[in-house]
Structure 1
Amino acid sequence: AEELEEEIVVPVTIKLLHQFNDAESAKFEEIVADFEKENPNIDLEVERNNEANYYEKLVTTIMGEAAPDIARVEPPKAAQYIAAGYATNLEPYISEDFRADFFEGTLQPVLKDGSLYGLPQDVAVLVLFYRTDMFEEAGIAAPPATWDELVTVAQELTKKPDIYGIGLFGGWGSFEFYPWFWQAGAEMFEEKDGKLVPAFNSEAGVEALQFWVDLIYKYKVMPEGSSTYTEDDVKGGFFAENIAMFTSGPWTIAGLKENTDIEGKWAMALLPKGEKEASVLGGMHFVVMEQSEYKEEAVKFLDYFMQDSVQVDWAKSLNLLPIKKSVYQDSFFQNDPLMQLFSKQLEVAKSRPTIPEIGEIDDLFGKAIQSAMIGAQTPKEALDEAAQKAEEILERQ
């Protein structure tokens, strides 16, 4: 009997693969150490891989039957792995209440036939940033709440030759455009005769892109070079008082707070709405690999990581958004108007589609947006051409 007891305490080793940045990685190691203290029977081996070949490496381990027990993956990859049967169905391990505490949009990429195959690990969402000093100077009382108000406000803020009301950019492909696209009521795909077909060149899709183009050429409230701008370009304009509004996520806050020149001169608001309210989600997910021999232990760690106290600590120390609704009730977040704003925007935020072909199609979509922004094609021409190519990609499957 004594021998048996000794065997029982031999810890099982589970492996977790991630690509956190330096600050996140250091904090994560602390959480892992606390978890191991509480669970002496589980040894959590953490491997960090920040190389460009992160996903190649992961697939190689899967093919070699040596997959980690848990992996941190981006939404399109999560969808691919779930479709390929690499990820574990988590339904047997989680309760309805646990599931209900996540924002609906964050679960979309890891849902298959109504079952969850992963959990959100972090979340980001686009909101509107604006220069309060420029607003005051122009006598504008509040940030715009609708597309029409955005045009009016941006016109009042634009001054020749180089001060613009708003900076939206095409250099990141489609990411920045998605909120406006969804607000117009557009969708990327639709089902036709049991097949998925491109729908982004619908009337609503064209209307959204026309709105962006009009901001540049008709209303002249956005720089002409916007098609190739990245966030850094627009942020630079915001700092220099050349751009009064732009859209960004929580990752921008630390940089704004560090810049003493604009201290007290900026604020955030919900995105102005079109037909409907919408924003776009960014973020990562944890999946438990189907190959794992220790699924229960893997889920036990995820459960630990998702505890409110751990999530409060994680979000607070890294300036990140909590992924669970309940955490926004914590006094720290309750008293932070920025966090409350993000939580409101999250309620109407959506994930980008996660079909396996999305990488290629999103690329076409981004190029179409840029083509219309430089005036090479009309929004309709650009989206029609991209939709035709997207249809060919979908038919290859």
Structure 2
Amino acid sequence: MKKTKKIALASVMTMSMFLGACGGSDDASGDDDKTISVWAMGEEGKQLKELAEKFEEENEDDIKVEVQAIPWESAHDKLLTAVASQDGPDVFQLGTTWVPEFAEAGAMLDLSEHTDDYPEFEPDNYFEGARETMQYDGQQIGIPWYVESRVLYYREDLLEEVGYDEAPATWDELKDASSQLADRSEDDYGLDIDQNDQITPFIFAWQNGYEVSEEEAENGDFNFDGEEFVGAIEYYHSFFDEGISQTSEGEDITKAFEKGTKPMFFSGPWMISVLNDQAPDIEGQWGTAVMPEQEKGTSSIGGANFSIFHNTEKVDESLEFLSYINETETQLEWLEMSNTLPSRTEAWEDPLLQDDPMYATFGRQLEDAQPGPQIEEWDQLTQELLDSIERINVGGADVEEEMANFNEKAEGLLAE
């Protein structure tokens, strides 16, 4: 366990010592009934109300659910306040990158002792990458609600024109195909890389053999100046340096993909419905593929987890709700409602996913996907990396020197 915490989290823990006597959970659920309060984020929170109503109809214990939809932009501060006051909801949603911070604060109930009664909670039910976000310091502190990963979206028709009947399968093929596509005209590019996406540099690094253990991450031993990470950033940068990828933001990727000026890009499952809805004229001309390999074809895994607030007085009711939400049938219903992917591997055996080539790609990719380092400082760390990459791509900074500086800053963040 690290000896230091972020300032905000340290303040939360200090406040908790004084406010811990408050106890209980959010006042949406009283002590005299079986009503639980659930905090969920953004549009998902609004849609979750429909599932909650079905749970109320089907459960035999007359458990009621009050869902509060919280905008993502205010969710983090609201959760910090709940931890500080010890007056949170019974059940709450967390983005996977927030898990370490709130786990360190002791905000989540340990579910380990409940897996015998609720086999849905067993880690083996979930993709390997998702398991890492369920566990912290020997405790099981959440259940993956849904998952996402990044795959390659590509224009089949345009790749065929440059000699590729299938999507590029290796780094060399990706570079070759995208170079040819970019050479079509001054207005064309080969591969769109979102420079604001914090996970893409790590995806390239994992593919290039970069690894960091949980213990190394906690100690700040990231080795960002090592051969594997530096080599990945050099490959990443080469697309911008050679004019294959656009350095400026440029045209919206959906429109550019439809026009063919940006015929390949990396993205998550949400883009399937976006393209179907907003680019119907290219139906049947595009596809999805797992990530091109270097040493590996690893991609990221993200999504959201559900946890139970550590001092809820409605443990049994909260467990029942979590169990329902993570049943395979419920996850498949949620897929149809929200276009988010099931976290349970069993759900991927259903024809709804197996017979859809776009979704099936994500199922294959999730077998080789991992989360970012499970540390509290993740957001700060990745922002520093994006700043370094901008200095490389736009400012012409040397990759090795910039990564050495970044590695030093990363070590400093963990030492604060």
TM-score, shorter chain, exceeding 0.5: yes
Q: Which residue of 1 aligns with 2:187?
A: 162
The offset of 1:136, in angstroms, is: 2.4
Task: Tell me the SS of whatever aligns to 1:156.
Answer: helix
The offset of 1:77, in angstroms, is: 2.0
Query: Using a 3 Å threshold, how does the CA distance of structure 1 residues 281 and 384 change in structure 2: closer, same or farther?
Result: same
Task: Tell me the SS of whatever aligns to 1:166.
Answer: coil
Partners of 1:107 and 1:197 lie apart in 2 by 23
Q: What is the CA deviation profile of residues 81-137 of structure 1, one whole-angstrom value per residue up to 9, with x for unaligned ones?
A: 111111111111124674211111112123123431101112110000001121122
For structure 1, which segment, 343-352 or 380-389, has the greater mean C-alpha deviation from structure 2 after superposition?
380-389
The offset of 1:26, in angstroms, is: 4.6
Unmatched 5+ stretches in structure 2 = 1-31
Q: Superposition pairs for residues 339-354 of structure 1, below 5 Å? A: 339-354=359-374
Structure 2: which amino acid aligns with 1:221?
I
The offset of 1:245, in angstroms, is: 0.8
The offset of 1:191, in angstroms, is: 5.0
Query: Using a 3 Å threshold, how does the CA distance of structure 1 residues 194 and 350 change in structure 2: closer, same or farther?
Result: closer
Q: What is the CA deviation profile of residues 209-249 of structure 1, one whole-angstrom value per residue up to 9, with x for unaligned ones?
A: 1001222224x422243xxx38x743332122111211111
Query: Using a 3 Å threshold, how does the CA distance of structure 1 residues 338 and 114 change in structure 2: closer, same or farther?
Result: farther
State yes or no: 1:15 paired with 2:37.
yes
For structure 1, which segment, 190-199 or 246-255, has the greater mean C-alpha deviation from structure 2 after superposition?
190-199
Q: CA RMSD in A?
A: 2.2
Task: Tell me the SS of whatever aligns to 1:352.
Answer: coil
Q: Superposition pairs for residues 211-250 of structure 1, below 5 Å? A: 211-218=235-242, 220-225=243-248, 229=249, 233-250=252-269
Residue in structure 1 matching 2:304, options 280, 284, 295? 284
Query: Using a 3 Å threshold, how does the CA distance of structure 1 residues 209 and 194 change in structure 2: closer, same or farther?
Result: closer
Query: Contact between 2:155 and 2:287, CA under 8 Å: does it hold in 1?
Result: yes
Query: Contact between 1:122 and 1:284, CA under 8 Å: does it hold in 2?
Result: yes
Query: Using a 3 Å threshold, how does the CA distance of structure 1 residues 210 and 290 change in structure 2: closer, same or farther?
Result: same
Q: Which residue of 1 aligns with 2:332?
A: 312
Query: Using a 3 Å threshold, how does the CA distance of structure 1 residues 192 and 345 change in structure 2: closer, same or farther?
Result: closer
Partners of 2:316 and 2:190 lie apart in 1 by 53
Q: What is the CA deviation profile of residues 244-295 of structure 1, one whole-angstrom value per residue up to 9, with x for unaligned ones?
A: 2111111111111112222222111111011112101221111111111122
Q: Which residue of 1 aligns with 2:233?
A: 209
Partners of 1:56 and 1:138 lie apart in 2 by 50
Residue in structure 1 matching 2:75, options 54, 63, 67? 54
Partners of 2:225 and 2:214 lie apart in 1 by 11
Task: Tell me the SS of whatever aligns to 2:71.
Answer: coil
The offset of 1:349, in angstroms, is: 0.6
Query: Contact between 1:147 and 1:273, CA under 8 Å: does it hold in 2?
Result: yes
Unmatched 5+ stretches in structure 1 = 1-9
Query: Contact between 1:14 and 1:45, CA under 8 Å: does it hold in 2?
Result: yes
Residue in structure 2 matching 1:34, options 47, 51, 54? 54
Residue in structure 2 matching 1:108, options 109, 132, 137? 132
Q: Superposition pairs for residues 1-397 of structure 1, below 5 Å? A: 11-21=33-43, 24-39=44-59, 40-50=61-71, 52-95=73-116, 98-158=122-182, 159-172=184-197, 174-187=198-211, 191=215, 195-218=219-242, 220-225=243-248, 229=249, 233-258=252-277, 259-396=279-416
For structure 1, which segment, 155-164 or 304-313, has the greater mean C-alpha deviation from structure 2 after superposition?
155-164
Query: Percent identity of the aligned residues?
Result: 28
Structure 2: which amino acid aligns with 1:202?
G
Matched residues, number? 379
The offset of 1:189, in angstroms, is: 6.8
Partners of 2:165 and 2:341 lie apart in 1 by 28
Partners of 1:192 and 1:304 lie apart in 2 by 37
Query: Contact between 1:128 and 1:268, CA under 8 Å: does it hold in 2?
Result: yes
Query: Contact between 1:11 and 1:41, CA under 8 Å: does it hold in 2?
Result: no
Query: Contact between 1:190 and 1:196, CA under 8 Å: does it hold in 2?
Result: no
The offset of 1:188, in angstroms, is: 5.8
Partners of 2:274 and 2:218 lie apart in 1 by 47
